Every structure is written in structure tokens, then in C-alpha cells.
Structure 1
Amino acid sequence: MSLPPTATASLVEEVDKCLICVLRDGRKLIGYLRTVDQFANLVFQDAVERIYVDDYYGDIQQGIVIVRGENVVLLGELDAESAQNSKLTRVSAADILQRKQVQLEERKKSEQEERQRRLTMQREQPDIVDDF
């Protein structure tokens, strides 16, 4: 009786395919999987880091990338046909980095406003114990 292959062993079938790898920190790498080891550490060739902002995306060339297996959240094969039919607009690396910076600043400002609003609400709340 043979046992089914482990998840790591099944990665061997994905070698030499173009894959997208989502990491724990949210980054997305796209490249050709060249090798994998028993810890699910991955080596990508011709890798790019793809950054998405709203309806735009941009690629930053990375070359050869080694990814520790513990940092992988998702790994999947890219379908070239569906990528061409995407409604997203490709922009340059410099443009996507600028858009990402603006998005981060807006998010930070929004979080600060939300924090301030919550602090204000806490101060305005009457003490429930005083009502009894």
C-alpha cells in the first residue's frame, strides 16, 4: 500500500512552471520554479515582485529568489490567457511604487483618524456606574 505524496513532495510536479507565490508579508512573487527541498524552500528564476494598487499593477525585477518554505502562504500556477484578459492596467515599476507610497500614506492617515475618533468616543462616554 503506497501513501499519497506529502504537500512538499507534490511541489516537484510544479518545477519549471511559471508560478505566483504569495508570502506571509503580503508580497507576491512570480517566476519559474527551479527547485524545491524537503522544507518547501523554493528557488525562482526570472522572478518579479508584482505590486497591485487599485486597478494597476507593476513588476519589479528580482532575478533569482530563494524563498523559505515557512513564508509561503499560497503557491499557484499562472494562466497566461487569464492574465491577458485582466482588467488591470500595467504601469512602470517607478509608477507603481509611487502609487503604493500614496496608498500607504492614505491608509496611515485613515488609521490615525479612526484611532482619534475612538479616543474621542471613549472620553465622551458617561460613566455607567454613576447612573446607579
Structure 2
Amino acid sequence: MSLSSYVDKKVCIITTDGRCLVGSLSSYDNTTNLVLSNTVERGIRSADEGVPSTETPVGVYLVRGENVCLVGLVDEELDMSINWTEVKGAPIRTTKNP
């Protein structure tokens, strides 16, 4: 599947080390190197942690293709209605072998 229909749209990227990046897909190439703009990194914490989840703005962000696990479109209306600091969940584990 081509990412061409995702360009200039808000996407969520899950990386091989379990990070969640959300931003506008600016560009990509045939090895799935991705350039995101207006990017935030979401750190979802588990319910037993006493700290809120985080959203850290990182601006323009380059993700190397070898580090991409998932690229998905974001429903912007739904995304904006969620207070991400209150979201709790299990951590996403790495896909890399130790």
C-alpha cells in the first residue's frame, strides 16, 4: 500500500522501540523513511504509575524506515476530543530482539 494518500494528513506512527508519534505526514520515500511536521510524542502511562501520561511536542521529526512498525490515519475530531494526559494503558513493547 502506498502512503501517498496519507501525505498532509494527521498520522500516528508506532516505532519498533514502542514510541507513539503523532503528526502531519510531510514526506516519505520507498524505504518508508517518514518526515512528520507538528509532531508530538505520546507517552501513555499505566494505571499503577502515579504520574499522568504525556504529550511532548517535537516539531519536525524524521523516522527511519527500519524503525517504523505502523502508520495509521488519525481521526482528527476524535483525537482532539481526548485529554491524552488522562489516558492510561499498558506500554507498547519493543519489537527489537535483545
TM-score when normalising by structure 1: 0.56
The residue number in structure 2 matching 1:43 is: 35
Q: Deviations over 1:18-61 (max 9, x none)?
A: 00000000001000000011111100001111000025432111
- Structure 1 residues 38 and 27 mapped into 2: Cα distance closer, same or farther (>3 Å)? same
The residue number in structure 1 matching 2:58 is: 62
1:18 paired with 2:18, answer: no
Structure number with greater CO (CA < 8 Å, separation at least 6) is 2
Percent sequence identity is: 36
Higher strand share: 2
2:12–2:71 Cα contact (<8 Å) kept: yes
Paired residues in the alignment total 81
Larger Rg: 1
> Can you give the 5+ residue segments of structure 1 that lack an aligned partner in the other structure?
1-6, 92-132
The residue number in structure 1 matching 2:91 is: none
- Choose 53-62 or 34-43, whichever is displaced more: 53-62
TM-score when normalising by structure 2: 0.73
> Which structure 1 residue ranges, 4+ long, deviate > 3 Å from structure 2?
none
Equivalences for 1:1-132 in 2 at 5 Å? 7=1, 10-54=2-46, 56-83=52-79, 84=81, 86=82, 90=85
**Take 2:35 and 2:84, find their aligned partners in 1: how far apart are those partners?**
28
Higher helix share: 1
